[in-house]
Structure 1
């Protein structure tokens, strides 16, 4: 399955223009990794979902820490919500957790590390083996969460979860400067970078993976 993986649009019109172009490239699924808006309004997210769903490509999405608190309800109403859920798309199983670990900025959707661990443990019970983990926040101590000065700001709980469960891949975002492809054990960690700057990723997952 060919998946289009995008993050951090922040409600910018240029990001939607990039997305429209990418949707014409024959992808079989779209994964939206949050920060669809920049602190709202919800109408920005509705417009984005209209754009994506016109393509008739299956979509899954989690909210970012900069999206309004009720974003998961908007996603749920549109049938694309992956936040705190386990969903099968084709032959692939996805589990998702939006928001981020605590930041200095008091953004709308933040979780303590203990809360992140609790939510992920609930989901993995449903997922079984060979799942794709979609989190807005990246795992700590990886290229995906590194600032230009070398500081790591990702989630230690997400890292520990990946190290223990070894999902097929972790699609994450949040840290714009962390655009990268790396590994934690056998898990592929993909931070596509911000679509607001024209960045995206393609994830190919084989039928036997």
Structure 2
């Protein structure tokens, strides 16, 4: 059995990845469908700061609409591949009602609702399931970087971030299994493919922004394979205990991973 691991599209799905998908039995996605370079630039310049009022509703409406439509188009492209696609959400997706940005006169369907109307895509909630014979724990969305509630840059939000971090950890451990084949996430574990490398752009440059509870979960339950994305500057394979950790790389730049599963073992090939 062969499957494609992909994510961080940000509005782009290169033809080479579409061609690779043709030879795969199914696709696992870590989300981040939409993308707006204008919005991304603004957010990095105002990291953890309020900027929407400063830019005004007209500009923000334009940025969010571009972002949303790019993601919607990616979902259409994935559906056209005519392969089963199983996906979680990333940190850049219109997943909840609160993500729809009605304040800017935007009233569109969330991505999970769009996915429901597709023929080949299934949105995965945070619950252990069996897919194509593999026991998988889908755990999507943005996990607050563990450094955020200790780093001086966020000192005015430490209390809030610590509370959120504790809540997210509790949620993760609600689903337990010592026989997991795959823990599928968007964000990386701490110190594994999580070091920021955007000098002069991201104030967290040079720091590790992974989610420590993932490390705890891996050490306790030893899933065979941990799949993540999120960090565009990383792609690779590592190990934590008995668990293989795979960072698939950003699809927008033509990166992904192809996995052959045979005799209960994973053989991983990076697409660079």
TM range (shorter): 0.7 to 0.9
Query: Number of aligned pairs?
Result: 198
Q: Distance in 1 between matches of 2:178 and 2:112?
A: 24
Pair 3,113 (structure 1): closer, same or farther in 2 beyond 3 Å: farther
User: 2 CA distance for matches of 1:50 and 1:197?
Assistant: 19
Structure 2 CA distance for aligned equivalents of residues 69 and 58 of structure 1 = 20
Runs of 4+ in 1 over 4 A off after TM superposition: 39-43, 76-79
Distance of 1:68 and 1:121 partners within structure 2: 25
**Using the alignment, how far apart are the partners of 1:52 and 1:207 within structure 2?**
29
- Partner residue in 2 for 1:161: 217
Bigger proportion of residues as helix: 2
Q: Decide which of 130, 150, 168 is 1:88's aligned counterpart.
A: 130
CA shift digits 1:144-183 (9 cap, x unpaired): 2122364211101112111111111111011111211101
Three-state SS of the structure 1 residue aligned to 2:28 is strand
Q: How does 1:109-120 map to 2 (within 5 A)?
A: 112-120=164-172
Distance, in Å, in 1 between the alignment partners of 2:113 and 2:215 is 27
- C-alpha displacement at 1:129, in angstroms? 0.9
CA RMSD of aligned residues (A): 2.5
DSSP 3-state at the match of 1:122:
coil
* Aligned residue number for residue 8 of structure 2: 8
Among 149, 172, 186, the residue aligned to 2:242: 186
TM-score computed with the length of structure 2 as normaliser: 0.65
Q: Cα offset for 1:81?
A: 1.1
C-alpha contact (below 8 Å) 2:182/2:224 kept by paired residues: yes
How far apart in 1 are the matches of 2:116 and 2:209? 29
The residue number in structure 1 matching 2:228 is 172
1:88 to 1:45, Cα distance in 2 relative to 1, 3 A: farther
Task: Tell me, yes or no, if the aligned pair for 1:62 and 1:72 is still in contact at 8 Å.
Answer: no
8 Å contact kept, 1:117–1:161? no
- Which consecutive unaligned segments of at least 5 residues does structure 1 have? 105-109
Against the structure 1 CA distance between its residues 76 and 163, is the aligned structure 2 distance closer, same or farther, given a 3 Å change threshold? farther
Provide the C-alpha distance between the structure 1 equivalents of 2:230 and 2:214, rounded to a whole number of angstroms.
13
TM-score (norm 1): 0.82
Q: For structure 2, which runs of at least 5 residues remain unmatched after alignment?
A: 36-63, 97-110, 149-160, 198-204, 266-272
Match of 1:53 among 65, 79, 93: 79
Return closer, same or farther for 1:31/1:114 CA change in 2, 3 Å cut-off: same
Question: Computing the radius of gyration over CA atoms, which structure comes out larger, 1 or 2?
Answer: 2
